Amino acid sequence: ETGVTQTPRHLVMGMTNKKSLKCEQHLGHNAMYWYKQSAKKPLELMFVYNFKEQTENNSVPSRFSPECPNSSHLFLHLHTLQPEDSALYLCASSQDQQNNEQFFGPGTRLTVL
């Protein structure tokens, strides 16, 4: 099993849909992250969880709702998204926030119609 997995790999949804992105890490890490990568823009950090507690929310709109039920799993719940939310959503993990070399999953490519 690879270190960080994400499902689905591709997702197309309408603006009124509700969907969830899933991330799972098999590295025994304690910190997990959600990033957004839009075309022609740098990666943007969205949320940080350390030992299941959310420690950072980078002014992300409430239509994105993270959930971290345990140190191995991270979800991003999506609701009433906008077309400009179309992007690659990347999950990453690190040992913890101090030992913070991050390992990324393959991402979910999201298209909002």
Partner 1 sequence: RKEVEQDPGPFNVPEGATVAFNCTYSNSASQSFFWYRQDCRKEPKLLMSVYSSGNEDGRFTAQLNRASQYISLLIRDSKLSDSATYLCVVEEGYGQNFVFGPGTRLSVLP
The reply on whether position 100 binds partner 1 by CB under 8 A is yes
The reply on whether position 7 binds partner 1 by CB under 8 A is no
SS3 98: coil
The reply on whether position 5 binds partner 1 by CB under 8 A is no
Binding pattern to partner 1, positions 74-93, x when CB under 8 A? ----------------x---
- Separation between Cα atoms, residue 68 and residue 20, nearest integer Å: 12
**Taking Cα atoms as reference points, which of 7, 95, 106, 86 lies closest to residue 39?**
86
- Beta strand 87-94 with 31-37 is antiparallel
From 10, 28, 42, 62, residue interacting with partner 1 (rule: CB under 8 A): 42
Label residue 44 exposed, middle or buried (CB < 10 Å: 0-12, 13-18, 19+).
middle
Toward partner 1, which CB reaches closer, 12 or 51?
51
Binding site for partner 1 (CB under 8 A): 31, 33, 41-45, 48, 50, 55-56, 58, 90, 94, 96-98, 100-107
